[in-house]
Each structure stands twice: as C-alpha cells, then as structure tokens.
Structure 1
Amino acid sequence: MADERPRSRGFDPNVPNIARMYDYYLGGKDHYEADRVRAEEAKAADPTLLSTIRANRAFLGRAVRYLAEQGIDQFLDIGTGLPTQQNVHQIAHSVNPDARVVYVDYDEQVVAHARALLARSENVRIVQADLRRPREILDHPDTRALLDLSKPVGLLLVATLHFIPDEDDPPAIMAELRDALAPGSHLALTHASADGIPDVVAKVVEVYKKTSAPGTPRTREQVMELFGDFELLDPGLVWAPLWRPEEPVSLEEAVRIWFYAGVGRKP
C-alpha cells in the first residue's frame, strides 16, 4: 500500500479543505474564503449537492440512533470531520448516556478543534490517525483506553472512503478494520457513486481535484465489497435517503442523492 502522504498536512487557509467545505455545506462557521469558493463551485456543478450532504448527515443520525437502541454502547467514528450539530456522541448519549465514542481524523485542524469543543464531554476521545494505517487507529492508546474491542463496536465511515484512492486499496483497509471487531459489531458507511447521475458526479469530482482530498466515486458492487462478510441489514445498500427513512421518499428523489448507504453486522 502506498504510504507517501506526510503525517500532517498542516494548516493552510488558502488550500480548500474538505472538512471545512463540509462544515460550510452544513451551515457551520469553521471555514475560510478558499473553502467557500470551492464549495460554491461544487454546488454550481450539482445544484442538489446540499440535499446530498444533508441526506448523508441524516443517515448518520438514523444509523447511530438505531445501533444505540440495539445495545451498541461504543462507537469508532473514522473521518469524523469538524464537530457540528448532532454529533455521534450526542445522538448516542440521547439513547445511552454511558455510550463511549472515539472520533478519528487525519486533519490536524479537525483534531485540534474537536479537542477544544469536546474537552468536557464524558466518554469521548478524539484521535489523530490515518485511515490508511488501520493499526494506528486500533492500537492508539486513546482508542484502547475507551473502547473494548473484544465487545461489539459500531464502526462508522460516513462520507470518508471515497477520499481513499484505489492505489491505497480500500478493501484491504476495511478488511483489517472488520477483522479487529468482535462478533455483533456493526459497520455503517456511506460512499459517493456515479451510478445514478454520472455526468453530475463527474463535474463535482473535477472540483474536488482542487481541494485537500480528491474523491473517487465507486460502483455499488465496489461499495458492497467494503462490507466483506458482514450481513447487510434491511433495506441493504441503498441511496442514503432510502435507508430506514423517517418519512416516505421516492426512488426518483433518492437517486439524485448520489451517496450509497448501508449498515452491516458481523456474524
């Protein structure tokens, strides 16, 4: 696996940053002019992009709530991004106040910001680590201090894996993470795909080539591979709005939301 990326990108407000762009999409305030300019370019490429971003975030909320209700009381959220409203620990704690959450991100700005905001949050840690090196995450002292990997974990990779290029072998990364989890663990993920509206997605991909992390949309079959032998829960791998929606959603409407979403359980 290629491993040439520096350990830290450092902070540069002039380089459009995917975490800050995501914050901008969600109505946050932790972004700079370069982020806003590139985000507006992406929105021009796909006028429904905000709907996709919000649907992705809404799936995260539904998935975490579901897992907490099923008794999952520890979560590993990789690629968490900048803290915003209704973070994973807030959703999990609304069901189980004792739930434990470890956030992981590679971006040092994200980590620094999260540590400041989460300093007083009980049962929550933030780890700076690289998804391309799973053992770095799994063996980190903060991960080990808070999570018991011999018991079921909710592993979350939401809008993260499409920022890992093919040459870094996402299936191998995921296999190492899955193998480290106990039976009864769950994997919730979303992933960008050009299956539904390839022309639009291609335009957005071109915009993201000029950011801190270009994207790689993948087919449904490729996303399915990331679940390995985990058993997909109903309704399977679907467009994000169709995963256990709180209100009826038409297929025509859902296909415009070009993120696949699914939750699998380790037998």
Structure 2
Amino acid sequence: MTDSSTQLTAFLSAPLVGLLDDNLKAKNKVYDEYHSFYNLIDKISSANNISVYNPSDYMDPGIHDYIRPDQIYQKNRDIIRTSDLLIAYVGIVSGGVATEIEIANSFRVPVILLCEEEKMNKVSRMILGSRMAQNHIVAPTLNDIVIKFENNLPKILEVLVEERSYTLTPQKTNLIKQLVEIHTTSQLSIAKISEEAGIDKSYLSRLLNKKISKPGRDQLIRLCAWGWKIDYDRTNDILRDAGYEPLW
C-alpha cells in the first residue's frame, strides 16, 4: 500500500459497448462478470490510496445512453490527461480502450495492461508497443488477474511515486494548496467557476479536493484567467510552479 500522504488518481479503461448485444442491451452473464471484475480492480486500487474514475459508473451505454459521444470523449480525455495512472483491460477488442491508452501515452500517463493469457496474442501490437504501457498483468482468468493485480500493484506504485519525485519541482508540491486558497478567496461557487472557465464541475471538484495532482496547462490558464480572474503575474507564477511555460 502506498504511503497515506501519497494520493494518486487513476482512470479505469475497460470495454463497455462490447458487453452489450446489437440492441445495446446487457448480456446478463457476461455483463455482470466483467462489471464485477472492474469493481474489484477499483476496490483494490482504492485500498492502495488511489482515487479511481470508473466510467462504467457514469457512462455505461446500457444505462446512460443519453450521453452524447462528444461529451464522453472530452470528459474522459480531461480525466486521463490529469491522472497519475491508467489501468486498462485489453482482453476484449475495444476502440474506446485503445483510444484511451493513446491519450495516456500522449500525456505520459503510465499504463497498466490487464489481460488473460490466452487472449494476449489478439492484443494489438500498437497497444503492446506503447511506451507508457510497461506494466502487464497477465494471468489465466479474470479472478487470477485480480489476485495478481493486488499482489503487484504496491510495487508498481512504489516505482511510480519514486519516478514522479524526480520530475516534480518543489514548488509543484504545494500547487493544489495554492489553487484551493485562490478559490476560497474568490468566494465563488464551483458551479460559477466551472461556467466561466468552461471546465467540467466534477473535474474542478476533484482538483480542489486534491484528487488531481497535475492539472494541465490549459486548465490552469482557464481557471486562473477566466474563472478566478486573477492577474497576469499571479497566473504566470502558478504556471511556473506547475512546471509549465508562462504566458507570453
């Protein structure tokens, strides 16, 4: 288990549409089996002090079929790019999972791949070759994957935290504290800041509750300049503390 002071965030990437029939109805046995598997991975991650975003809780097409594709893409992309880790089950061919892995790769978010042994030969070499997908949890069955994931996760996180300690500047460690102070001083609601900055309310809430450790440069600019409306110099200070180039 990671140190209690080290709160990490993860995105759980797993097939959803592939668990439904042609009429987008749940295939009960298969659907239940995989959702149980996803929930166990979520539970183990949480026990290791990882705040997990599990899309099956919020945008399962069998339940939340009213959510537009563009909304799903943007929300998932925003969460992945600001996560510390992406956990991906690749035992079922899924365009969504492949896209999410590539988003993680683009933003240098480490990826853990989960798969049954007999299905590994059908996993795309593009996925296996991703530079950020260095950790593979492969076992005979889903239950075995769960056990192996639980046994290996602490060591994976130990390496992740150690590597991150070399890349974060000292200033960045109190970045979120600064943002919380700015928000408190503004006396504006999360809903108002979200509207002004054009940033999802759930993202802002996760950020202010310290469940996001590395907000992106564009999110910081939107929040500082449009949301909290702080001045140019303070915005640049925040960007520098986060390790980003300042405004020109």
TM-score, reference length from structure 2: 0.33
Q: Which has the higher helix share?
A: 2
Q: From the CA coordinates, give the structure whose radius of gyration is larger.
A: 2
Q: Which has the higher strand share?
A: 1
TM-score, reference length from structure 1: 0.31
